[in-house]
Amino acid sequence: MKEQEFLNEIKEIQLLTEAIGLLEWDSQTGMPEASSDFRGETVGYISGMAFERSVGPKVQEALAYFEDHSEELSEVGLAVYNKVKEDYELNHSIPAERMQAYNTALTNAHAAWLKARKAKDFAEMKNEIQTIVDFLKEFIPYWKKDEATNYDVLLNQYEPGLTVEKLDQIFAQVKAGIMEIRTTVAEKGTVPRTDFLSRQVTKAQQRRFVSGVAEQLGYDFSRGRLDDTVHPFMLALNRKDARITTRWDETDFTMATFGVIHEAGHGIYEQSIDSKYDYTPLATGASMGIHESQSLFNEIIIGSNKQFWQKQFPFFKECTEGTFDDIDFETFYDSLKETKASLVRIEADSLTYPLHIIIRYEIEKMIFNEDVSVADLPQIWNDKYEEYLGIRPENDLEGIVQDVHWSGGSFGYFPSYALGYMYAAQLRHAMGQEIDVDTILASDDYSVIKNWLTEHIHQYGASRKPNQLIMDATGEALNPQYLIDYMKSIYYDVYKITE
Amino acid sequence: MKEQEFLNEIKEIQLLTEAIGLLEWDSQTGMPEASSDFRGETVGYISGMAFERSVGPKVQEALAYFEDHSEELSEVGLAVYNKVKEDYELNHSIPAERMQAYNTALTNAHAAWLKARKAKDFAEMKNEIQTIVDFLKEFIPYWKKDEATNYDVLLNQYEPGLTVEKLDQIFAQVKAGIMEIRTTVAEKGTVPRTDFLSRQVTKAQQRRFVSGVAEQLGYDFSRGRLDDTVHPFMLALNRKDARITTRWDETDFTMATFGVIHEAGHGIYEQSIDSKYDYTPLATGASMGIHESQSLFNEIIIGSNKQFWQKQFPFFKECTEGTFDDIDFETFYDSLKETKASLVRIEADSLTYPLHIIIRYEIEKMIFNEDVSVADLPQIWNDKYEEYLGIRPENDLEGIVQDVHWSGGSFGYFPSYALGYMYAAQLRHAMGQEIDVDTILASDDYSVIKNWLTEHIHQYGASRKPNQLIMDATGEALNPQYLIDYMKSIYYDVYKITE
C-alpha cells in the first residue's frame, strides 16, 4: 500500500461526497418538488456507496498498513490517516444491522416529527424519540473511550475534547452573565425604537445590500453563489464552490441581512482552507463549534459592531432607495440590537440565544446521564423556559418540537451553537490584541480581519482539533468571560446603561 | 440471474447517470466558474464508474444468460435487455485503450476548437479533426453490421435504421422544395415588417409570457424548471425532473420565446414517458431525431400557427405592458416568420434551417465515404453556402468552426435536426386526420394535442425505434413532402403569395 493509493481511495470517496452535496443543495434550492422520490433513490444509493467505501476493504487495508508504517506518510497523508481512522472507528464499531435499524428509526422519527409539528403535540413523536434514545444508549458503549459519562461520548462526536464537566462550569458562568445583563437591561435600560424595521424592503434591494456586505467581508462569489431556500444553510462542495442560501422577508430585512452575513462566515471558512487538503476529509471545518464561530463572528461580532454599521449605513440607505431617510444612524443601529425573550431558538436575539442552548443541553444531559423519562420532557422544557426566559410555550410547536435535531438523532449537537458564540468572542478579543478591529470595520477594506481568521483558523481545515485551534489562536483554553463582556458592552451601549 | 437482479444493476447505473445529469446541468446554469476543475474530477470519476458498470461483469453475465432465457423476462425486462445489449455492443466492441486514446483526442479537439473560434481559423483545429476522423474510421469496422457504407454506420448511431441511400433522396427533395419556396418568395413575396421586434422587452416580461405559453403547451413546471444558460438545452434527470434552460435578449424577445417553446417540447416528451420505464435506459427519447421532432413540433408547427398566435397575442400584449400597442395582429404574426439567408445555423429561420443541415450532411458523407481531405473542408463549406444560400462566410467562425459537434466526434448527428423537422410536419399531418388542430390552437385547452403526441410518441420512450414510431403514428415511412407543403403554406401566407 502506497500513500498515493490510500489518498486516491479517499479522493474517490470525496468525489462521491461532492456529488451527494450537490444533490442535497439542489433538493433544497429548487428541485422540482414532485421528483423527491427519484432524488431519494439517487442520494440513498450514492450515500450508501460512499459509506461502504469509507469502511471498505481498501480503507481497512490502508489503516492496518499505516498503523505500522506511519513513517511512510507525508505530513498531509498522516493528517488524513488520523482523520480517516477516527471516522472509521466511529462508523465501523456498530454492527451493520443495528446501524441499519437505527437509520430506519431515524426515518420514522422524522415522519413523526412532522406529525408532531402539525399536531403541536410532542405525544406524536414520543415513542420515536424514545427509540432513538435507546439506540444511542446501546451505541454509546461501542463509541466510548475514556469519556467520563454517556453524554460526554455524544458531545465528543461534534466537538472533540468537550466534556460535561467543562460545559457545566462554562454554561453556569454564561447563564449567570446573561441573566445579569438581562436584569440590568430590564431594570435600567431604554428600549430602542424598532417600528421602522418592518418597512418594505424588496428582495432585490435586500439582495443588493447583503451581497455587497458579504463580498466586503471576504465571501468570494466567484467561488460561491447565493440562492433562496426555506431553511438557510451553507454547503461547500469544495473550496472553490461554497454555496450559501437565505430566505427573504420583505417586511423584515434583518432576517436575510444577518442570515447572509452568518452563512457567508461559513462560506469564507470553507473557501479559505489550504489547497493541500483538497479531495480529503480535512477540507472542511474543524468541528461544528468552530464552524459556528466563523459564521457567528460575522453575525454577532461584526454584525453588532457600531463602526461596521456606521460604515455600511450609507450603502444600506442607497440600496433601500429612500425608505429609511428619516432614520438617523444611532436609531438605526440600536434597533438592530433589541433583546426580547422568545420561545423559538432560531428567532432569538444574540443575548438570549445561549439560554435556548443551555436549556437543550441540560435536558440532553438528563436524558443520557440521569435517565429521565422521555414522556416528562415537555414539562421539563416548559418549566425551564419559564425559569430562564420568563415565558412559557402554549403548545409543543412553540416548545419541544420546534427543532429537527432530536428526531435526527443529533443529541450532543446543540452545545456547538453556544460554543460558536464563545469562540467568536474569544477570537475577537485575541484579534484585538494585534489589530484595531473597530478602525478596520470603519474602513473600506476588511481583508485584515479575514486574513487573521484564515491564518489562525480557516487554513487548517479539519487537520487540527477545536481546543488546539483556540489555544493557538488566543493563547488560552475556552473562556466564556469574553462573550459575557462583549454582550455587556453591546447591550449596555444600545440600552443606554452607564454602570 | 433473475430479471430483478439484472434490472437492479441497470437501475444503479441509471442512478449514477442521474447524478451526472445534475452535475452537468449545474455546471451550465450557475456553478461558480472557478470550480470547473473540481467539477471535472467529479464528473469524470462518476461517468467512468457508470461506463465501467455498463460494460462490467454483471451486465455481461445478464446479457449471456438472457440470450438463452429471454422467456424469463417480462415485457419491460425484454425491452431493457434489447437496449442494454445494443449499447453494450456499441461500447464494448472497441478495445478499451483505443477508446481511452479517443477520449483524449476529443479533449484535445475541444481545446483546439476554442482556439479556432478565437482565431476564426479552421487551421487551428485541422489536425485534431483529422485525428478524430482517423479514430472513427478505425472504429467503424468494429461497429459495422449490415450497413452499406461507412457513413451509414455513424448515421445509425443517432437514428437507428437511417441510411445514406434514403437520406440522399430525402434531402434532394427537401432541398428542391426549399429552393423553390425561396425563389418564389424572393421574386413575388412581400417582405414583412420586422422593425418592432427589437423593442425592449424585459427579461421578467419575457419570462412571464414564455412560462405561460410553455405551461399551456403541456410543460409541467412542478416536474421541471426554467433556468438561464449560455447554450440552451433540456436535461431530464427523470420524468419528474425535466429541466429546460434559455438565454434572454431584451432587444430580441423572439430568441427566448421560440427557445423556450422548443425546449419545452423536449421536456414534455421526457415528462410523458411511461412510468414502467423508470430507472431504465428506456426512460428517454427514441432517438435524437424523434426528440427534435417534439421540440420542433412546438417551435415550428405550433410556433408558426396563425390561430395559436392569434390566441396568444392578447397575453403577449398583457405581458409586454403596452410596448406593442401600435402593432396589429397580422403585422405581428408576419414578423415572426421572416426568412433570410444566414451563415450561422443556430440563427437560421425555419425555412432555411434544413439547408444548413444538408450542407453538413454532404460534407460528412464526403469525409467518410469519399475520403475528402480535412484540409479542404473550409473551401468546400464556403462554396456550399454560396451555392445553397447565396452568401459566403468571411471567416471560419461564421463558417466551419461555428459548431461544436465535429470536435466532439459527433459525425452523423446533424441530420437528426432535419429529421426532426420532417417528422414534426408528418406528425402534424397525421394528427390533422384525427383532430382539428387549428381550432384547438385557437382554444384555451391544448391538451388534446399533447395527449395525441403522448399516445403516439412520448409514452414509448426508447422502447421503439424511430421508423416504427413514425410508421405507427402516421401510417407511412418518413416522407419529406409534408414539410415542404407545410413550409409553403406558412411562408406563402406570410409573404402574400397567391399561386
Q: pLDDT digits over A243-293, tens only?
A: 999 999 999 999 999 999 999 999 999 999 999 999 999 999 999 999 999
- A192-205 per-position pLDDT tens digit: 999 999 999 999 99
Looking at residue B222, its pLDDT comes to: 96
Furthest C-alpha separation in chain B:
71
Chain A residue whose CA is closest to B50? A46
Contact A46 B19 (CB under 8 A): yes
Q: Which of A11, A38, A223, A235 to mutate to test the interface with B (most CBs of B within 10 A)?
A: A38
Report phi then psi at B237, rounded to 5: -80, -35
| CB atoms closer than 10 angstroms to residue A314 | 10
Q: Which of A13, A22, A278 to mutate to test the interface with B (most CBs of B within 10 A)?
A: A22
Which of B12, B45, B222 comes nearest A33 by C-beta?
B222
Which of B16, B23, B222 comes nearest A34 by C-beta?
B222
Residue type at A288 in one-letter notation? M
Which of B19, B31, B240 comes nearest A23 by C-beta?
B19
A&B contacts, CB < 8 Å: 88
All cell numbers assigned to A288: 461544528
Range(s) of the domain holding residue A375: 144-499
Is residue A433 located within the same domain as residue A324? yes
Q: How far lies B380's CA from each of A451, B133, B388, B392, in Å?
A: 59, 17, 12, 11
Residue type at B273 in one-letter notation? I
Q: Which of B38, B222, B228, B279 to mutate to test the interface with A (most CBs of A within 10 A)?
A: B38
Is residue B27 located within the same domain as residue B164? no
Residue type at A8 in one-letter notation? N
Report DSSP state, residue B476. S
Q: Identify all chain B residues contacting A279, using CB atoms and an 8 Å cutoff.
A: 41
Looking at residue A148, its pLDDT comes to: 85
Measured between CA atoms, how close is B91 to chain A, in angstroms?
Answer: 24
Residue A226 β-bridge partners: A244
Q: Which of B146, B177, B199 is at the close of a domain? A: B146
- The reply to whether ipTM tops 0.85 is yes
Angle between helices A57-68 and A3-29 (to 10 degrees): 130
Tell me the pLDDT of chain B averaged across its residues: 95
Contact A41 B279 (CB under 8 A): yes
Assess whether pLDDT exceeds 90 at residue A147.
no
Determine the distance from the C-alpha atom of residue A270 to the mean position of all C-alpha atoms in its chain, rounded to a whole number. 13
Is the Cβ–Cβ distance between B393 and B381 less than 8 Å?
yes
Which of A30, A32, A237 comes nearest B222 by C-beta?
A32
Q: Which of A92, A125, A160 is at the close of a domain? A: A92
The pLDDT confidence band at residue A230, using thresholds 50, 70 and 90, is: confident
Look up the CATH number of the domain holding residue A200: 1.10.1370.30
Indicate whether A166 belongs to any domain. yes
Is residue B132 located within the same domain as residue B159? no
Strand order in the sheet with B234-238: B226-228, B241-246, B234-238
Contact B37 A12 (CB under 8 A): no
B466: nearest Cα among B162, B106, B28: B162
Q: Which residue has the higher pLDDT, A108 or B314?
A: B314
Mean pLDDT by runs of 10 across the 499 residues of chain B is 94 96 92 90 92 94 96 97 93 85 90 94 97 96 90 94 95 97 96 97 98 98 94 95 97 97 98 98 97 97 97 98 97 97 94 97 97 95 97 97 94 96 98 97 97 98 96 97 97 92
Looking at residue B103, its pLDDT comes to: 87
Looking at residue B171, its pLDDT comes to: 98
> What is the spatial distance between Cα B89 and Cα B66, in angstroms, rounded to a whole number?
15
Q: What is the mean pLDDT of residues A18-30?
A: 93
B264: nearest Cα among B234, B222, B303: B234
Active site residue B318: no
Question: Does an H or E element contain A434, and which?
Answer: helix A415-434
Q: How far lies A37's CA from each of A42, A48, A121, B239, in Å?
A: 9, 16, 28, 11
Coil, strand or helix: which one is B190?
A: coil
Looking at residue B359, its pLDDT comes to: 98
B348: nearest Cα among B281, B403, B412, B289: B403
Q: What is the mean pLDDT of residues A38-52?
A: 92
First to last CA, chain A: 66
Number of folded domains that form chain A: 2
Looking at residue A107, its pLDDT comes to: 86
Is residue A238 located within the same domain as residue A299? yes
Measured between CA atoms, how close is A377 to chain B, in angstroms?
Answer: 40
Is residue A324 located within the same domain as residue A233? yes
Say which of B124, B128, B159, B263 is annotated catalytic.
B263
Q: Identify all chain B residues contacting A221, using CB atoms and an 8 Å cutoff.
A: 32
B399: nearest Cα among B419, B383, B417: B383
Report phi then psi at A202, rounded to 5: -65, 160
DSSP string, A5-35: HHHHHHHHHHHHHHHHHHHHHHHHHT--GGG
Contact B41 A15 (CB under 8 A): yes
> What is the spatial distance between Cα B213 and Cα B311, in angstroms, rounded to a whole number?
11
Say which of A159, A263, A270, A292 is annotated catalytic.
A263
Tell me the pLDDT of chain A averaged across its residues: 95
Residue written as cell 429612500? Answer: A322
> What is the spatial distance between Cα B214 and Cα B266, in angstroms, rounded to a whole number?
11
Contact B46 A279 (CB under 8 A): no
Is residue B141 located within the same domain as residue B180? no
Q: Which of B146, B175, B198 is at the close of a domain? A: B146
Q: How far lies B400's CA from each of A182, B19, B407, in Å?
A: 75, 34, 11
Rg over alpha carbons for chain A, rounded to the nearest Å, is: 23
> What is the spatial distance between Cα A495 and Cα A338, in angstroms, rounded to a whole number?
8
Which of A19, A31, A222 comes nearest B42 by C-beta?
A19
Residue written as cell 446603561? Answer: A497
- A301-315 per-position pLDDT tens digit: 999 999 999 999 999
Indicate whether A102 belongs to any domain. no
Is residue B108 located within the same domain as residue B166? no
Is residue B201 located within the same domain as residue B322? yes
> What is the spatial distance between Cα A30 and Cα B212, in angstroms, rounded to a whole number?
19
Coil, strand or helix: which one is B242?
A: strand
Is residue B205 located within the same domain as residue B97? no
Looking at residue B92, its pLDDT comes to: 83
| CB atoms closer than 10 angstroms to residue A347 | 13
Which of A42, A223, A278 comes nearest B18 by C-beta?
A42
> What is the spatial distance between Cα A274 and Cα A281, in angstroms, rounded to a whole number?
12
A89: nearest Cα among A142, A48, A47: A142
Is residue A151 located within the same domain as residue A78? no
Contact A42 B221 (CB under 8 A): no
> What is the spatial distance between Cα A482 and Cα A174, in angstroms, rounded to a whole number?
10
Contact B224 A32 (CB under 8 A): yes
Chain B residue whose CA is closest to A20? B19
Looking at residue B499, its pLDDT comes to: 67
Is residue B166 located within the same domain as residue B84? no
Q: How far lies B52's CA from each of A18, A293, B59, B60, B100, in Å?
A: 20, 44, 10, 11, 12
Assess whether pLDDT exceeds 70 at residue A445.
yes
Contact A26 B22 (CB under 8 A): yes
Measured between CA atoms, how close is A30 to chain B, in angstroms?
Answer: 8
Contact A38 B240 (CB under 8 A): yes
Assess whether pLDDT exceeds 70 at residue A499.
no
Chain A residue whose CA is closest to B14? A42
Measured between CA atoms, how close is B33 to chain A, in angstroms?
Answer: 6
Is residue B131 located within the same domain as residue B156? no
Q: Identify all chain A residues contacting B38, using CB atoms and an 8 Å cutoff.
A: 18, 237-238, 240-241, 278
Looking at residue A277, its pLDDT comes to: 98
Q: Which of B8, B12, B36, B45 to mutate to test the interface with A (most CBs of A within 10 A)?
A: B45
Contact B241 A19 (CB under 8 A): no
A244: nearest Cα among A256, A227, A223, A219: A227
Which of B12, B42, B240 comes nearest A35 by C-beta?
B240
Q: Which of A12, A238, A278 to mutate to test the interface with B (most CBs of B within 10 A)?
A: A238
Contact B37 A225 (CB under 8 A): no
Measured between CA atoms, how close is B43 to chain A, in angstroms?
Answer: 9
